[in-house]
Structure 1
Amino acid sequence: MKNPSTYPVSARGPADHDVRSQIVAAATEHFSHYGYEKTTVSDLAKAIGFSKAYIYKFFESKQAIGEMICANCLRQIETEVSAAVAETDAPPEKVRRLFKACTEASLRLFFQDRKLYEIAASAATERWQAVIAYEANLQKLLRDVLQEGRLSGDFERKTPLDETVMAIYLVMRPLLNPLLLQYSFDYAEEAPAHLSNLVLRSLSP
């Protein structure tokens, strides 16, 4: 997963249009200040200096703008996690880094800005396509690490790989999902180490 996948978002017009980036940047700032739920497309239009109709040429709804912002955040997390995992060749250490990097990046992006957290919460609740893609990409990375560990002899091979991937992902999920992470905040610092060590013990051949 060296090159993060393109996240599916609902957008209109040329994909690389400067105006689209301008709208997303302005919307990110506006949502940070006023909140996602309380902001309307009309509010964004006034803040950016465009007409509402012009914004609709690039995004079909406020949610589409929110999805683009969410996709940017998730893509950043995915890039950071991939880089952290790639820093070591040892599969057990890759697992530890996967847990640690996912948690740290999620905490930083989801909780540094409480207003933008609303977007993350909406995305998780409504299962936006960007969230689905992000989860699939992390599971793919986890699968690759497990396969590498099985080949090296670090991990057991009896349990079906799909079952192992899903079980570990479910262990990780409270540290990834913004709706669940807020309830694990008091344990977020030590949780990655404890949970990854537990998982590694279960993976021993």
Structure 2
Amino acid sequence: MNKTQASPGGSPCPRERIVQAAIRLYRAIGYRKTTVADIARSASMSPANIYRFFPSRQAVEEAVVAGLLGEVCAGAGIEARSNVSGEERLEAVFWTICQRHEHRLAHDARLHELVVAAGQANWPVVFFHAERVRGLVGSIIAAGQASGEFRAGSATALARCTCEAMGSYLDPSRIRTRAGRATFEEMMSFCSGALRNAAPAQVAGLRLQYRPTCRA
């Protein structure tokens, strides 16, 4: 039987039992205080059995983070497929991600601490999540370019720049920081303006208005 599949009868497979046991413990005492022995006891198996499915304690932590970030991406993916304008879909995607992180911080602070630590340690699972988000954003931008809503250019590069601009609302480690940062609405307005496909006359007008200041 594949280690990631459910056991006969629909019960969780051993790997999933381990992950769920770890989540319970992380919520109760935090990931830093949780040992492999604790996880094994909570999952009703031996520590040696844990290592059959995960090579280390960090591997268990990474599996938990992957699940948490996967839920965030799943919610964002639903918004990315909605039948509204590109700007509205982008806003919904970013807002969903931001709200999922803020909800975890408010209601699951110890799990949020693990997600933040994973990002600060540059775990591969965090990079994979960021790539998935950029992929969602890139697909929305590409569709907007095809419809004429967004300006021309590399959708991949535009997605990267847009995600960087919205970073304080996408990065779990920056969710808590509010002082001095632009509001979500202000950042979305900025990004939408940068992506919007300006009419040729508007672009020409902007160029005519710009005059470099001559220095003496």
TM surpasses 0.5:
yes
Q: Report the residue type matching 2:192 in the other structure.
A: L
Shift of 1:91: 1.0
Paired with 2:173 and 2:14, the residues of 1 have a C-alpha distance of: 32
Shift of 1:46: 2.7
What residue number does 1:6 align with?
none
Q: Decide which of 125, 132, 157 is 1:137's aligned counterpart.
A: 132
| Higher normalized contact order (CA 8 Å, seq sep 6+, divided by chain length) | 1
**Alpha-carbon contact 1:37-1:118 (below 8 Å) kept:** no
**Alpha-carbon contact 1:96-1:192 (below 8 Å) kept:** no
When the two chains are superposed, the root-mean-square deviation of aligned CA atoms in Å is 2.0
**Alpha-carbon contact 1:99-1:192 (below 8 Å) kept:** no
Q: Report the residue type matching 2:175 in the other structure.
A: L
1:199 aligns with 2:191: yes
1:164 aligns with 2:158: yes
Deviations 1:41-96 (A, max 9, x none): 12222333322111111111111111111111111111111112222331111121
Paired with 2:154 and 2:38, the residues of 1 have a C-alpha distance of: 51
What residue number does 2:28 align with?
33
Aligned-partner SS, 1:107: helix
What residue number does 1:104 align with?
99
Tell me the TM-score normalised to structure 1 length. 0.84
What residue number does 1:7 align with?
none
**Alpha-carbon contact 2:116-2:172 (below 8 Å) kept:** yes
What residue number does 2:67 align with?
72
Tell me the TM-score normalised to structure 2 length. 0.80
Paired with 1:25 and 1:76, the residues of 2 have a C-alpha distance of: 15
Gap change, CA 1:144 and 1:43, over 3 Å in 2: same
Aligned-partner SS, 1:88: coil
Deviations 1:82-132 (A, max 9, x none): 112222331111121122111112212344211112210221011222211
Q: Higher mean Cα deviation, 141-150 or 79-88?
A: 79-88
Larger Rg: 2
**Alpha-carbon contact 1:142-1:165 (below 8 Å) kept:** yes
Consecutive unaligned residues of structure 1, counting only runs of 5 or more, are: 1-12
